[in-house]
Structure 1
């Protein structure tokens, strides 16, 4: 095992509004302070009653998915907590992932089918 699922992140145009929608649909708390994320106009979260977290990320030129049109695919990614970013990156690449970008505190990779996911160093509580 390389890491644990931190949250599922959905791209959108208005993170706070989509977070409110999912909190009303599933229950939970919108934008609860959490040391793993900065909350601002580009990022919002819902902490669900079962402990899982949904993240909502602003994409300026967001294009809405159209089901089941592959020209407008589903848009989300997984954030995965890891103890050691460099070791996790090496392990994921060994499994077939490809590094796409490094953003200081996290690394963006794609799985063998091209789906993006992020490796994020675990923060001490």
Structure 2
């Protein structure tokens, strides 16, 4: 028997609303801003899969891909039907390519606008 269950994956970032909007375009859902005790917290509501939330992190330093100096700590895998089409869309939203040279692989690695790594994976 488990003690609990995952409520959300929370990403630290400099601008929670902007990053939530990026992910809303990527995986669907709506951006819901929550103010608690002066903290800026944003939930992504209604998206399929694991719940995502975003919190302001003053002095945020993005992870580095791949690096042991500034470990990625985690990354998100987003399954898509068409890697090429999805790549064009995430780049238009502000993502950057981290590792996508091998076009024969079933995944490609990007960074969101705050620098968190994520993969587009062929389903």
- In structure 1, the partner of 2:64 is 66
- In structure 1, the partner of 2:5 is 4
TM-score (norm: length of structure 2): 0.51
> Can you give the 5+ residue segments of structure 1 that lack an aligned partner in the other structure?
77-125
Aligned-pair CA distance for 1:49: 2.9
> Can you give the 5+ residue segments of structure 2 that lack an aligned partner in the other structure?
75-123
- In structure 1, the partner of 2:42 is 44
Q: In the aligned structure 1, how far is the partner of 2:12 from the partner of 2:30?
A: 19
Q: In the aligned structure 2, how far is the partner of 1:3 from the partner of 1:10?
A: 20
Superposed counterparts of 1:87-106, under 5 Å: none
Superposed counterparts of 1:28-39, under 5 Å: 28-31=29-32, 38=36
- In structure 2, the partner of 1:19 is 20
Query: What's the Cα RMSD here?
Result: 2.6
- In structure 1, the partner of 2:77 is none
Number of equivalences: 73
Q: In the aligned structure 1, how far is the partner of 2:39 from the partner of 2:22?
A: 16
8 Å contact from structure 2 (residues 28, 48) kept in 1: no
Q: 1:54 to 1:17 in 2, by over 3 A?
A: same
TM-score (norm: length of structure 1): 0.50
* Structure with higher RCO (Cα < 8 A, 6+ apart): 1
